[in-house]
Each structure stands twice: as structure tokens, then as C-alpha cells.
Amino acid sequence: MKPRILVTSAAGTTGIPTTLGLLEKGFRVRAFVRRRDARSQRLHEAGADLFVGNQYDYRDVRHALNDVQRAYVCPPTGPNTAHFAAVFATAAHEAQLEHIVTLSQWLSAPDHIASTTREAWLLDRLIAALPETTHTINDMGFFADNYFSGLAATAQLGKLTMPLGPPELKGNAPPSNEDVAAAVACLADPSTHAGRRYRPTGPKLLSNIEIAESIGRALDRPVSYPPYRAPQ
């Protein structure tokens, strides 16, 4: 029988494709979700064992890890990733997980200006310190999905009004939510991926102008990236 794998934030943008990908490979998956809704129902119908709980609550996390051997860890969106990191690492140690894949950030570092990015680094360090658990880190950049956070305004104004730097800067190869399927391979074959750090990306490095034009093609209307004024 294949190992049981816990997927945290399972109804989120990366949790859904990870859960579905593992189920397609025949793994038993426990999907940790906040509530029952259309997204979690989709996972349930695909064969996932739903666990509804609070990922910041040690008791819920420890209970969710009962009879689990591996885990995909995507921190919940919020300002308290450090608390989640401490809760999950403690519960994972007690559950004696054999392998964990964390969704981290490309720029994670202890001295980064953003607290969530510093805390992403802290989560990876806590997981790496577990003595009996192997670990793989997926360092994600700026998701393609993030460009759609202001889609209504972009469609209305015909402008990608996000502070992303100079228009011509080829600064990102945006990964799709499905690109996170790298986590599926790492969980399916820990012996190959243990101790490794990956940065999944999309297929091509794009400038901000090219990203705006791509959104315009999807919307079937011209979309431009406005002139950039460097900070003084």
C-alpha cells in the first residue's frame, strides 16, 4: 500500500493541483482544508480524505498527521507563518514523518525586508532540523496567478497597474499553479529528491510588457504596462 500524504492548504491554488496529481498516481491523500465548499468537494470527489481544521492549531495538525508518512506543506496566507512553522514542525516531529516538501519563496532569507519571506525561511530551517525526516524545498517565484489579482481593473483600464519595475525588464518566468506539480514528483520519490532545492518556473522569461500583452490576448483587448518611475 502506498504511503498516505497530507496536503496542507489543500483547497488553495497549489494545494488543488498537488492533491489531484498525487491521487492520479494512486497515493492516499489527506487534504487539510479550512471548510467544506466547492473546492474541497472537488477534492473529496476525486478521492481525497478531507480533514477540516485550523492549521494554526497544534491539536488539529497533530490529528491530521495520524497515520501519515509524507506531507506537502504550503503555509496558509497570513502574517503568522512563524507560528504555523512552529506548530507544523512540532507535530511532524512527533508523527515521525519520513519526507516533507515545503512550498517556499525564491528570495527567502533571514534578513529579507518582508516578514512573510523571512518566516518562509524559518519554516524551511525548522523542517530541515527534524532528525528523522528528509526534506525537499520548492522555491517559487511570482506566480502567474498573482497577475490576475487586479484583473477587473486591468480589463476596465487596459493597463497592468502593478509596481513590477521597468517595462522592458525580463524579470520573471511566471509559474502556473500546475507547475507546482514538481511537488508531486518529490513526494512520490523522496529518495531522488531528498535534500534538493528546486525553483519551478514557466517556460519563458518575460518582460513586464510581454506579460501585459499576454493578459491582453486572454482578455481580447489591448493591455499595456504604464511608464515606470524609479523610486527617488
Question: Please, what sign has the CA dihedral across residues 159, 106, 82, 43?
Answer: positive
d(C-alpha 125, C-alpha 114), whole Å: 17
**pLDDT of 232:** 61
| pLDDT digit string, tens, across residues 103-131 | 998 889 999 998 888 999 999 999 999 99
32 vs 232, higher pLDDT: 32
Nearest to 73 by CA among 88, 52, 87: 88
Burial of 180: CB neighbours in 10 Å, binned 0-12, 13-18, 19+: buried
4-144+176-201 belongs to which CATH class?
A: alpha beta
In this prediction, residues 15-39 reach a mean pLDDT of 96
d(C-alpha 202, C-alpha 180), whole Å: 10
Single-letter amino acid, residue 189: D
Tell whether the model's pLDDT for residue 215 goes beyond 90.
yes
Nearest to 198 by CA among 186, 214, 213: 186
What residue ranges do the domains of the chain occupy? 4-144+176-201
Q: Beta-carbon neighbour count of residue 212 at 10 Å?
A: 24
**pLDDT of 35:** 94
DSSP structure string for 88-132: HHHHHHHHT-SEEEEEEETT--TT-SSHHHHHHHHHHHHHHT-TT
